[in-house]
């Protein structure tokens, strides 16, 4: 193949002539054919370990532990300061979501209150997952021993 023929064959490709990209072919799990991906050579040039900071690790652990709709409890934000008794309000309900701000590295957690059906912000450190069983399946201590 001559230089001109090679250049003509590469005209239809999105990037040609500069050698900035690498084409990778793999078998597609969704179809019978193959899929071709264009990867920058800078990603393939050096193998370096991916560094995960502590904030990302904490976000991953919390999102694995608390799933949407799971029954959780937590302390309502600013409730110890509002009450005259200085005791925090504990909210029990379904876990709604996390709001993660990566720039300031803050995590906000929300639980849906079953009485009002509104999301209530709770302290993420106070989240507890409640494991409850149905009353007809739960055994008493004596039934457990026998």
Tell me the C-alpha distance between 88 and 125, whole Å.
Answer: 14
Distance CA 13, CA 25 (A): 15
Total domains, the chain: 2
Residue 40 lies in a domain: yes
**Would residue 35 count as lying in a domain?**
yes
Given a contact cutoff of 8 angstroms between Cβ atoms, the answer to whether 72 and 123 are in contact is no
Is 16 within 8 Å of 10 (Cβ atoms)? yes
Rounded CA-CA distance 90/99 in Å is: 20
Average pLDDT over residues 57-84: 87
pTM > 0.85: yes or no? no
C-alpha–C-alpha distance, residues 73 and 94, integer Å: 8
By percentage, how much of the chain surpasses pLDDT 90?
27
Q: How far apart are CA 76 and CA 120, in angstroms?
A: 7
Answer whether residue 145 is part of any domain.
no
Instruction: Looking at the structure, tell me whether residues 20 and 68 fall in a common domain.
Output: no
pLDDT per residue over 21-34, tens digit each?
555 566 666 666 66
Residues 67 and 123 placed together within one structural domain of the fold: yes
pLDDT tier at 41, thresholds 50, 70, 90? low
Q: Could you tell me the CATH number of the domain that includes residue 67?
A: 2.30.30
Domain span at residue 98? 54-129
* Position 67 in a domain: yes
Torsion of CA 99, 69, 124, 62, to 10 degrees: -80
Residue 140 counted as domain residue: no
User: Do 73 and 121 sit in the same domain of this protein?
Assistant: yes
Q: Does 141 fall in a domain?
A: no
């Amino acid at each position: 193949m001559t230089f001109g023929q090679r250049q003509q064959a590469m005209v239809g490709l999105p990037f040609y002539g500069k050698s900035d990209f690498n084409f990778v072919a793999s078998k597609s799990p969704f179809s019978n054919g193959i899929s071709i991906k264009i990867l920058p050579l800078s990603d393939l040039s050096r193998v370096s370990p991916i560094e995960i900071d502590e904030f990302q690790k904490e976000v991953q652990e919390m999102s694995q532990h608390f799933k949407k709709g799971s029954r959780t409890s937590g302390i309502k934000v600013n409730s110890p300061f509002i009450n005259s008794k200085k005791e925090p309000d504990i909210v029990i309900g379904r876990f709604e979501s996390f709001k993660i701000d990566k720039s300031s590295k803050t995590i906000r957690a929300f639980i849906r209150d079953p009485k009002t059906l509104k999301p209530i912000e709770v302290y993420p450190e106070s989240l507890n997952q409640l494991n409850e069983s149905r009353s007809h399946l739960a055994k008493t201590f004596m039934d457990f021993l026998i």
